[in-house]
C-alpha cells in the first residue's frame, strides 16, 4: 500500500517535481546573492536618519523599501520621470539598479505556475502535494527497510540505484517536506483560502493640515531601527490631507506630515505572522542560509526521480510473465508469491513452468490474494515468500498472516513454504518462518517442511525442487537463473594446490583479467570494476545453473583469484579443480556490496575458515594504507591447508596485517576458529567497543559458532551480534 | 487585445436604470514595457470633492493583492464587493486592455474624475497612476500614466 502510494505519484508527477526541484534549487541562490551584494546599514541606524539621507539625495522620493536581505530601495519622481535605485544606507545615494532581475522573474514564474497563470499554479501545487506524499510515503518505506525509525541512517545493501535513491532521500526528505508544505500553504494563501490578508488600520480622517515636519524629528521614525523597516511611503507633494505610511516588522501606521504624530497603528495579525514565516521558510528571503540548504536538498529531487525510475524498471523486468496461468478454482496446485522487489516471482515462474510441463494445472498469484474458499480443486498450496526488512511481509504478501490468523481453521490442503532471503541479514527468512509457524499452530497439514533459499541460490532451489518432486511423485528439475548475466571466458594463469593430505583437495586459482568494452569501463559494469568480496558465478559445462565463488582479488591486483575446494560429486568444483593453466571457464561477475570492508579507518576483525579465507586474504592484500586488520583463520592442518601462508608472512611485514590467530582443527588439541576468538576475548571485545568491524566468511556451521562465541565475548560490554548487524558492523558471507 | 462588454454591478452608484440616460464608453489602456509581471489596475471614479463614487473595473483576480492599489484600497476600505462582477485578468507589460461599459450621462462634465491605480509584483506600487476629469471634450484624448501606463483614453 505504502509502496503504491510512493510509486504512482512518483511516476505521474515525475516531470512536475523535477521542474519544481530544479527551479527551486536555482531560486535558492538569489536570496543569498542579494544578501551578499546589498549594502548593509550600520548598527543602530534609525529610519528617521535613513529617510533624511535619502530625501537629501532624491528630493522627489516617494517610497523607501527594505527587503528581508537588508537591501534598501528608494523610488522617486524627478521632474515627472520615475526613478529607482538600490541605496547605500550610509550615504543615501543610489549604488545599483533597482530593476527587477529578469532571470529571477522567469524562474519564479516557471516555479510557481509554468507560465500558465492560475491553471499552472494549481498544477504546481499538485506537484508540491505529490512531493509531500512522496516524502512521507518514502520516509515510511525507508523506516520499514532499515527496520524502524531509530535505524534511519543504517547502512544499506542492494543495487546501486536503490541505495542512491534512499541515501539521497534520507538526507533530503526533511527539506522536501518543509518546502512542499510551505508551498501548499502559499498556494492556499494566494487563492485567498486563508484568512491571512491582514487589515491595515483605517486611514485617518483628521489630519493637521500642515506640511513640512522634519523627517528626522518624527518620534516614531526615530524609534524604529532600519532593521525593522519594510516600507515608508511619502505623502503626495502638495496634498496636505495625505500622510506618511510606515510598515515595519510589527505592523502598519500613518504619520501626520505636519506634526510628525502617529495617527493610527495596527499590529500584524497572527495569521499574517504565520504566513510571513512560511514565506521566509519557503523562499529563503530573510533566511538565506536555510534557503541554500533547502535548494541543495531540492537538487536531490531529479536524482531521486531518475534512480526511482530505474528501481521501478528493474522491478518490472524482474517480474516475468507467467504463461498458461490457470484460474484459482481449477488449479491442482496453488502457488502464492510473497515478493518485494520481484525476484521471487521469477522463481515462481520457473516452478510454474516445470509443474505445468509435468502435467499439473497450476495457479500463480500474490499471497495477498489468499482465498482458500476458491481453491475448490486444489491438492496442494505452495508459498514462495521473501521477507521485508526486519521480518515484515513483503509487498505482495500484505495481509496474508492477518487473514490466516482471522480464519477459524487452516485449509485442509497440504502446504509447503519456501523462504527466500540473505543469511547475512539478522532476520533471515523471518517472514517465511512466521508463516510456517502460524500454519503449524493452525493445524495446516504439511506437504514439505519449511525450506529456505539463500541469496537466490539456484542450487538451493534445485534441491528443494527435487524434494517437492519426490513428495508429488514426479521428477522435477528446477533450473532457475535469476538474471541472465553477461558471461566472459576466463583463462587460468596459475594454480596452487593444498589440502590433499587432509582429504580436502583445494586450489587457489588465478585467472587473467578478461577484455572489457569501453562501455563497461565507463559504467564500471561487468569485470571492469570489482573488488575482493564480490562474487563470480561459474557456469560449469553441461549445466545452466551457475555456482558463486567469493573473489580473493580486486581489479587493481591485475588478476581474478578464487579459492575452490573440490566437493565430491560437485560439478563446478570438480571442473574448476581439474583446470590447468591455459584452460578456460565461463563466468560472470556479481557485485556483493554488503561484503566490502569499506573505506573507513576502523579496525577490521576478519574471521574465516577453509576456503572462506579467500575474500579476507583479498582485503588484507588490498590494505595498502595500513588499516588495523586482525585475521582469525581456521584450518585443518598447517602443513596442508594453510592457504596464503607465504603471502601472510609478507603482508604482516608490510603492515597490511596487524595480527594473525590460527586455529587448527586436526591434531592432538583440535581447535576451531570460534575457540581462537574466545582465546582472544579481551582483545576482541576491546576492538569492537572501539568501533571495529567484524567480517565473517565460511561455512554456515562456522558462522553460527562465531556468532555464539561473539555473543559470549560481547555480553559483558552490553553488546550483541544482532546489534552490530543492524549497525552494519557485523557482516557475513556464508555458504 | 481585449474587448469586454462590462455590465456594472447593481450595487455601484454608477448604475443607470434607463438606457436613454447612459452611453457606451470604451476605456483603452496600453501599458509600457516595464519589465515585470502582469499589472493590477483599478479603475474608479471620484466626485468633485474627491470622494469615492464607485468602481468601473478591476484588472487582477486575487483580492489579497488589492491592498497594493493604495488609493482605491483606501477609498473603499479594500471592500471586494465594490468590484464584484467587474473583475478581469491582470494586464501584461506592453499589452492593451479595452473595456466598454455603459456610463451615466450625469458623470460627464460634472466634476467627476476617473482614476487608475496600478501595482506590479516586486515593483513600486503606483496609486493614482492616472487621474483624468470626465468631460465630453476630453474623450479620445490619450494621457500618460506615471509609471506603467503608456497611454489611457476614454472614447464615447
Q: Tens digit of pLDDT for each residue in B97-142?
A: 999 988 888 889 999 999 999 999 888 888 889 999 999 998 999 9
- Chain A within 8 Å of B88 (Cβ-Cβ)? no
Chain B residues within an 8 Å CB radius of A117: 89
Domain CATH for A401: 3.40.50.360
Q: Can you tell me whether residue A282 is helix, strand or coil?
A: helix
Closest CA to A671 of A640, A695, A703, A702: A702
On whether the CB atoms of residues A613 and A633 are closer than 8 A, the answer is yes
Q: What percent of chain A has pLDDT over 70?
A: 96
Q: What is the rounded average pLDDT of the residues A588-613?
A: 86
Confidence of residue B4 (pLDDT cuts 50, 70, 90): very low
Query: For testing the chain B interface, which of A61, A62, A269 should be mutated: the one with the most B CBs within 10 Å?
Result: A62
- Chain A within 8 Å of B123 (Cβ-Cβ)? yes
B24 Cα to chain A: minimum distance (Å): 31
Residues A344 and A376 in one domain: yes
Chain B residues within an 8 Å CB radius of A116: none
Closest CA to A341 of A317, A368, A322: A317
pLDDT at B20 over 70: no
Q: Hey, how many other C-beta atoms are within 10 angstroms of the C-beta on A36?
A: 10
| Domain boundary pick from A472, A497, A525 | A472
Q: A523 or A286: whose pLDDT is higher?
A: A286
Predicted pLDDT at A414? 94
Predicted pLDDT at A482? 63
Predicted pLDDT at B7? 38
Whole-number Å distance between alpha carbons of A541 and A579: 12
Residues A52 and A19 in one domain: no
Residues A511 and A653 in one domain: no
Q: Is residue A441 part of a domain?
A: yes
Residues A78 and A206 in one domain: yes
pLDDT tens-place string over residues A352-395: 999 999 889 999 988 988 888 889 999 999 999 998 766 778 87
B106 Cα to chain A: minimum distance (Å): 28
Give the range among A91-100, A585-594, A629-638 with minimum mean pLDDT.
Answer: A585-594
* Structural domains of chain A, count: 5
Cβ within 8 Å, pair B36-A197: no
Q: Is residue A415 part of a domain?
A: yes
Residue with cell 527539506: A175
Q: A673 or B9: whose pLDDT is higher?
A: A673
Strands A535-539 and A584-590, sheet pairing: antiparallel
Q: What is the rounded average pLDDT of the residues A682-710?
A: 90
Q: What percent of chain A has pLDDT over 90?
A: 51
Q: Computed from CA positions of residues A279, A281, A287, A291, in that sequence, does the dihedral angle turn out positive or negative?
A: negative
Q: What is the rounded average pLDDT of the residues A339-343?
A: 75
- Chain A within 8 Å of B95 (Cβ-Cβ)? no
pLDDT at A159 over 80: no
Residues A644 and A696 in one domain: yes
Q: What is the rounded average pLDDT of the residues A436-452?
A: 93
Chain B residues within an 8 Å CB radius of A102: 35
Predicted pLDDT at A735? 77
CATH no. of B3-155: 2.60.40
pLDDT at B16 over 70: no
Residues A538 and A590 in one domain: yes
Q: A479 or A255: whose pLDDT is higher?
A: A255
Domain CATH for A557: 2.40.30.10
Whole-number Å distance between alpha carbons of A438 and A401: 8
Chain B residues within an 8 Å CB radius of A201: none
Of B61, B64, B67, the CB nearest to A200: B67
Chain B residues within an 8 Å CB radius of A199: 78
Predicted pLDDT at A580? 92
Q: Residue A531 belongs to what H/E stretch?
A: none
Predicted pLDDT at B121? 87
Chain B residues within an 8 Å CB radius of A200: 67, 73, 78
Residues A122 and A222 in one domain: no
Give the range among A208-212, A222-226, A305-309, A489-493 with minimum mean pLDDT.
Answer: A208-212
Chain A residues within an 8 Å CB radius of B147: 82
pLDDT at B14 over 70: no
On whether the CB atoms of residues B36 and B68 are closer than 8 A, the answer is no
pLDDT at A431 over 90: yes
Predicted pLDDT at A425? 67
pLDDT at A186 over 70: yes
pLDDT at A138 over 80: yes
Q: Is residue A483 part of a domain?
A: no
Q: Is residue A482 part of a domain?
A: no
Predicted pLDDT at B6? 37
Closest-CA residue of chain A to B123: A100
pLDDT at A719 over 90: no
Cβ within 8 Å, pair A82-B146: yes
Predicted pLDDT at B2? 31
**What DSSP designation does B91 have?**
B
Q: List residues of A whose CB lies inside 8 A of any B CB.
A: 62-63, 75, 77, 82, 84, 99-100, 102, 105, 109, 117-118, 189-192, 197-200, 202-203, 233, 236
pLDDT at B9 over 50: no
pLDDT at A52 over 80: yes
Residues A174 and A249 in one domain: no
| Domain boundary pick from A549, A571, A594 | A594
Closest-CA residue of chain A to B147: A82
pTM of this structure = 0.63
pLDDT at A561 over 80: yes
Cβ within 8 Å, pair A75-B124: yes
Residue with cell 464615447: B156
Q: Can you tell me whether residue A421 is helix, strand or coil?
A: strand
pLDDT at A527 over 60: yes
Q: What is the rounded average pLDDT of the residues B66-89?
A: 88
Query: Which residues constitute the domain of residue A534?
Result: 488-594
A220 Cα to chain B: minimum distance (Å): 22
Confidence of residue A19 (pLDDT cuts 50, 70, 90): very high
Quick check: ipTM above 0.85? no
Q: Is residue A94 part of a domain?
A: no
Predicted pLDDT at B17? 47
Which residues 11-50 in chain B show a CB within 8 A of chain A?
Answer: 35-37
Residue A698, CA atoms < 13 Å, CB-side half-sphere: 26
- Chain A within 8 Å of B125 (Cβ-Cβ)? yes
Cβ within 8 Å, pair A84-B36: no
Cβ within 8 Å, pair A202-B77: yes
Cβ within 8 Å, pair B62-A191: yes
On whether the CB atoms of residues B101 and B44 are closer than 8 A, the answer is no
pLDDT at B79 over 90: no
Predicted pLDDT at B62? 87
- Looking at every residue in chain A, the average pLDDT score rounds to 88
Q: Spell out the residues 6+ positions from residue A710 whose beta carbon is closer than 8 angstroms to its own.
A: A677, A684, A694, A721, A724, A730
Domain CATH for A668: 3.40.50.80
pLDDT at A215 over 60: yes
Residues A181 and A57 in one domain: no
Q: Is residue A340 part of a domain?
A: yes
Cβ within 8 Å, pair B62-A202: no
Cα dist from A354 to A111, A460, A519, whole Å: 55, 16, 37
Residues A111 and A20 in one domain: yes
What's the CA dihedral at B67, B71, B74, B78 to 10 degrees? -40
pLDDT tens-place string over residues A395-425: 778 778 888 888 888 889 999 999 998 876 6
pLDDT at A55 over 80: yes
pLDDT at A104 over 90: yes
Q: Is residue A552 part of a domain?
A: yes
Strands A61-66 and A229-233, sheet pairing: antiparallel
A197 Cα to chain B: minimum distance (Å): 6
Whole-number Å distance between alpha carbons of A304 and A298: 10
Predicted pLDDT at A545? 72
Amino acid at each position: 500500500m505504502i509502496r503504491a502510494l510512493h510509486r504512482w505519484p512518483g511516476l505521474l508527477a515525475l516531470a512536475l517535481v523535477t521542474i519544481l526541484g530544479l527551479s527551486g534549487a536555482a531560486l535558492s541562490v538569489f536570496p543569498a546573492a542579494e544578501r551578499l551584494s546589498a549594502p548593509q546599514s550600520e548598527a543602530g541606524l534609525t529610519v528617521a536618519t535613513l529617510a533624511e539621507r535619502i530625501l537629501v539625495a532624491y528630493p522627489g522620493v516617494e517610497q523607501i523599501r527594505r527587503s528581508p536581505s537588508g537591501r534598501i530601495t528608494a523610488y522617486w519622481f524627478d521632474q515627472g520621470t520615475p526613478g529607482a535605485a538600490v541605496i547605500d544606507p550610509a550615504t543615501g545615494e543610489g549604488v545599483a539598479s533597482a530593476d527587477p532581475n529578469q532571470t529571477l522573474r522567469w524562474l519564479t514564474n516557471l516555479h510557481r505556475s509554468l507560465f500558465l497563470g492560475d491553471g499552472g499554479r494549481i498544477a504546481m501545487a499538485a506537484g508540491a502535494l505529490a512531493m509531500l506524499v512522496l516524502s512521507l510515503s518514502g520516509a515510511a518505506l525507508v523506516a520499514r527497510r532499515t527496520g524502524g525509525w531509530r535505524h534511519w541512517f543504517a547502512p544499506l545493501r542492494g543495487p546501486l540505484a536503490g541505495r542512491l535513491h534512499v541515501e539521497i532521500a534520507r538526507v533530503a526528505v526533511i527539506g522536501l517536506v518543509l518546502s512542499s508544505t510551505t508551498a501548499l500553504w502559499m498556494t492556499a494563501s494566494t487563492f485567498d483560502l486563508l484568512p491571512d490578508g491582514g487589515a491595515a488600520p483605517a486611514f485617518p480622517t483628521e489630519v493637521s493640515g500642515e506640511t513640512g515636519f522634519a523627517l528626522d524629528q518624527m518620534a516614531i521614525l526615530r524609534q524604529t531601527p532600519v532593521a525593522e523597516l519594510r516600507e515608508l511611503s511619502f505623502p503626495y507633494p502638495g496634498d496636505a490631507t495625505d500622510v506618511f505610511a510606515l510598515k515595519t516588522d510589527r505592523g502598519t501606521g500613518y504619520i501626520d506630515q505636519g506634526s510628525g504624530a502617529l495617527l493610527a497603528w495596527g499590529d500584524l495579525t497572527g495569521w499574517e505572522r504565520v504566513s510571513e514565516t512560511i514565506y521566509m521558510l519557503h523562499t529563503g528571503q530573510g533566511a538565506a542560509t536555510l534557503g541554500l540548504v533547502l535548494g541543495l536538498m531540492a537538487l536531490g529531487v531529479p536524482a531521486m526521480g531518475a534512480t526511482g525510475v530505474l528501481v521501478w524498471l528493474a522491478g518490472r523486468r524482474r517480474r516475468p510473465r507467467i504463461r498458461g496461468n490457470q484460474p484459482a478454482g481449477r488449479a491442482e496446485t496453488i502457488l502464492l508469491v510473497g515478493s518485494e522487489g520481484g525476484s521471487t516471482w521469477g522463481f515462481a515462474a520457473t516452478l510454474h513452468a516445470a509443474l505445468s510441463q509435468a502435467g499439473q494445472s497450476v495457479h500463480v498469484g500474490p499471497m495477498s490474494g489468499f482465498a482458500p474458499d476458491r481453491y475448490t480443486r486444489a491438492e496442494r498450496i505452495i508459498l514462495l515468500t521473501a521477507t521485508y526488512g526486519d521480518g515484515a511481509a513483503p509487498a505482495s504478501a500484505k495481509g496474508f498472516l492477518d487473514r490466516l490468523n482471522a480464519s477459524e481453521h487452516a485449509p485442509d490442503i497440504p502446504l509447503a513454504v519456501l523462504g527466500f532471503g540473505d543469511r547475512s541479514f539478522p532476520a533471515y527468512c523471518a517472514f517465511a518462518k512466521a508463516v510456517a509457524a502460524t500454519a503449524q499452530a493452525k493445524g495446516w497439514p504439511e506437504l514439505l517442511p519449511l525450506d529456505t533459499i539463500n541469496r537466490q541460490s539456484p542450487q538451493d532451489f534445485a534441491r528443494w525442487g527435487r524434494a517437492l518432486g519426490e513428495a508429488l511423485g514426479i521428477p522435477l528439475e528446477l533450473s532457475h537463473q535469476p538474471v541472465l548475466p553477461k558471461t566472459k571466458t576466463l583463462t587460468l594463469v596459475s594454480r596452487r594446490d593444498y589440502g590433499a593430505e587432509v582429504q580436502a583437495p583445494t586450489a587457489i586459482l588465478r585467472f587473467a583479467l578478461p577484455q572489457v568494452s569501453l562501455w563497461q569501463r565507463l559504467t564500471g559494469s561487468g569485470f571492469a570494476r570489482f573488488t575482493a568480496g564480490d562474487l563470480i558465478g561459474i557456469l560449469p559445462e553441461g549445466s545452466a545453473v551457475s555456482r558463486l565463488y567469493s573473489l580473493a582479488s580486486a581489479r587493481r591486483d591485475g588478476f581474478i583469484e578464487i579459492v575452490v575446494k573440490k566437493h565430491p560429486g560437485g560439478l563446478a568444483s570438480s571442473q574448476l579443480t581439474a583446470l590447468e593453466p591455459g584452460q578456460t571457464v565461463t563466468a560472470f561477475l556479481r557485485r556483493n556490496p554488503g561484503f566490502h570492508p569499506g573505506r573507513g579507518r576502523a579496525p577490521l576483525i576478519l574471521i574465516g575458515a577453509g576456503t572462506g579465507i579467500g575474500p579476507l586474504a583479498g582485503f588484507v592484500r588490498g590494505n595498502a594504507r595500513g588499516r588495523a586488520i586482525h585475521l582469525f583463520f581456521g584450518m585443518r592442518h598447517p602443513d596442508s591447508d594453510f592457504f596464503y601462508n607465504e603471502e601472510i608472512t609478507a603482508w604482516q611485514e608490510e603492515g597490511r596485517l596487524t595480527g594473525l590467530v590460527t586455529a587448527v582443527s586436526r591434531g592432538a588439541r583440535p581447535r576451531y576458529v570460534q575457540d581462537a576468538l574466545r582465546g582472544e576475548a579481551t582483545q576482541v571485545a576491546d576492538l569492537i567497543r572501539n568501533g571495529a568491524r567484524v567480517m565473517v566468511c565460511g561455512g554456515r556451521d562456522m558462522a553460527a559458532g562465531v556468532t555464539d562465541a561473539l555473543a559470549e565475548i560481547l555480553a559483558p560490554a552490553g553488546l550483541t551480534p544482532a546489534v552490530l548487524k543492524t549497525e552494519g558492523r557485523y557482516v557475513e558471507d556464508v555458504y | 487585445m481585449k474587448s469586454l462588454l462590462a455590465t456594472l454591478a447593481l450595487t455601484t452608484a454608477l448604475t443607470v436604470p434607463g438606457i436613454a440616460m447612459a452611453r457606451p464608453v470604451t476605456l483603452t489602456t496600453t501599458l509600457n514595457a516595464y519589465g515585470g509581471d502582469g499589472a493590477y489596475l483599478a479603475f474608479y471614479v471620484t466626485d468633485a470633492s474627491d470622494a469615492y463614487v464607485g468602481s468601473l473595473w478591476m484588472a487582477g483576480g486575487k483580492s489579497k493583492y488589492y491592498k497594493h492599489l493604495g488609493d482605491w484600497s483606501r477609498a473603499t476600505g479594500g471592500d471586494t464587493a465594490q468590484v464584484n462582477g467587474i473583475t478581469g485578468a491582470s494586464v501584461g507589460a506592453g499589452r492593451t486592455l479595452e473595456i466598454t461599459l455603459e456610463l451615466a450621462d450625469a458623470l460627464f462634465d460634472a466634476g467627476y474624475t476617473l482614476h487608475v491605480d496600478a501595482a506590479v509584483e516586486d515593483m513600486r506600487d503606483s496609486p493614482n497612476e492616472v487621474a483624468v476629469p470626465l468631460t465630453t471634450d476630453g474623450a479620445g484624448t490619450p494621457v500618460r500614466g506615471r509609471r506603467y501606463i503608456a497611454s489611457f483614453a476614454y472614447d464615447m
